[in-house]
Amino acid sequence: MRSRLRRALHEWAWHRNTDRELLPARTAGVELQNSIRPMIAVARFVAFAAKELHDRPEWRDRIAAETAERGSLVSGPLATAFAQEIRRTAPIVPMLPGRAIADIELEGEKVTAGGRVVLDILGTNTDELSWERADEFDPARFVGVEDYESLTAFIPHGGADVASGHRCPGEKLAIAGMAAAVATLSDPRIAIAGTGLEVNRRRLPTKPASGGRVRSADASASRCPFR
């Protein structure tokens, strides 16, 4: 990890713009942060994944079996579907504020240019008019869904597309990282602590109180089973 970070630091420190000039130090620093920020943000989603996997041992078993059969922690269809359902239901970013760039009218409501608008992410992701059994945690709803961006009511990383909307460009990195984490947490060599998994949904951003603590399932082991 350190060598990768050093390489990223070198790339941004010596990156040149279209005029062949070095980037200002602040810009280079911000872009370096952007290289790793999606995976840091994913940590809160992973805490929710630990909670949901603990509460759903049948899904842990299915994902563990999938991972063992594929021989890889990366991109398992069931692990990915579980990660997508975490993104749908975990309220770590419940809304995104913005300002209208033009006069608009939506369903009879008018907003003038410069007016404040709020994108209700959690409400949209759990809207009973858009989702079957919207209040149920069911990763099966995402099994076989390849083009998740075509689901207009699925906006955990913002709406529209990356180029023209408010959709985060790190979304695919987040999904890949989450799916790998879900596969790892499903490994039978890991035990997820059953305490501290309560969620205070009045706290922003929120997460399970403990952050999702894990340990080796072998009580006599002194090291992480993945080391």
The DSSP H or E segment spanning 173 is helix 171-185
Closest CA relative to residue 63, chosen from 175, 143, 156, 174: 143
Range with top average pLDDT, 21-30, 63-72, 113-122: 63-72
Q: Which amino acid appears at position 106 of this protein?
A: L
Residues 188-208 have a mean pLDDT of 92
The whole-chain average pLDDT of the chain stands at: 89
Q: How far apart are CA 151 and CA 84, in angstroms?
A: 12
In the predicted structure, residue 70 carries a pLDDT above the cut 90: yes
Taking CA atoms, 99 is separated from 31, 115, 127, 152, in Å, by 25, 5, 23, 21
b/e for 27-66, b at 16 or more Cβ within 10 A? ebeeebeebeebbebbebbbbbbbbbbbebeebbebbbeb
| Lowest-confidence region among 37-51, 52-66, 114-128 | 37-51
Residue 4 is predicted with a pLDDT of 57
Residue 116 is predicted with a pLDDT of 92
In the predicted structure, residue 222 carries a pLDDT above the cut 70: no
How many CA atoms lie less than 13 Å away from 93 in the CB half-sphere?
Answer: 17
Residue 11 is predicted with a pLDDT of 86
The full set of domain ranges for the chain reads 2-216
Residues 172-189 have a mean pLDDT of 94
Q: Please provide the CATH number assigned to the domain covering 2-216.
A: 1.10.630.10
pLDDT in tens, 100-153: 999 999 889 999 999 998 889 999 999 999 999 999 999 999 999 989 988 999
